[in-house]
Amino acid sequence: MAELILRREGAVGTLLFSNVARHNAMTYAMWHEFPEKLRELDADPAVRVIVLAGDGDHAFVSGADISQFQQNREEEGMQEAYNRALVTAYAAPSRCDKPVIAMIRGFCMGGGLGIAAGCDLRFCADNALFRMPAGRMGLGYAFPGVQRFVALMGPANAASAS
């Protein structure tokens, strides 16, 4: 089952991306829910830091759940709504007043890279693998996201992420 799981341990609020069968790919519902869950942790006075992590050992977030693309992006209006959900999700970590940390293990691809880029800090395990495969799938990437990658990683590294 694809879901976002909230955990609180002392002053640490953790948001776990859980869709293990699809390497924690984000469903349309997860994209919508992500900013809401972050706001909930950010508003909790007991939480001092927010940690984002992927469920299991193989992925942070492997991107969007492409098995849903046909049903959620088929018509122009649906595509616009989907894209708005992504833009809102990518910006959500940077809108938090508390520090947001991405704990990255395994795959961090596509939308996962967009989420991680919005965090204040990113800590990576030895098995972290970063890719932006959207172009290979015939999809574009929004200019604000490209700007974030270039600012974060530099032009050469951003260009080689595909």
| pLDDT above 70: residue 124 | yes
Burial class (CB in 10 A: 0-12, 13-18, 19+), 143: exposed
Show the DSSP H helices in 1-110 as ranges: 28-43, 69-73, 76-91
Give, for 110, the enclosing helix (H) or strand (E): none
For the ranges 36-45, 52-61, 132-141, which has the lowest average pLDDT? 132-141
Residue among 4, 112, 108, 7 at smallest CA distance from 49? 7
Tell me the CATH class for 3-159.
Answer: alpha beta
Structural domain boundaries of the chain? 3-159
d(CA 105, CA 42): 24
pLDDT band at 35 (very low <50, low <70, confident <90, very high): very high
Q: Can you give the pTM of this predicted structure?
A: 0.87
Q: What is the pLDDT of residues 141-151, one digit of tens each?
A: 666 667 676 77
d(CA 104, CA 58): 10
Show the DSSP H helices in 92-142 as ranges: 111-117
Burial class (CB in 10 A: 0-12, 13-18, 19+), 40: middle
Chain centre to alpha carbon of residue 57: 16
What six digits make up the tokens of 56? 């299991």
Q: What is the pLDDT of residues 83-97, one digit of tens each?
A: 888 889 999 999 999
Integer CA distances (angstroms), 56 to 34, 59, 122, 141, in order: 19, 7, 18, 27
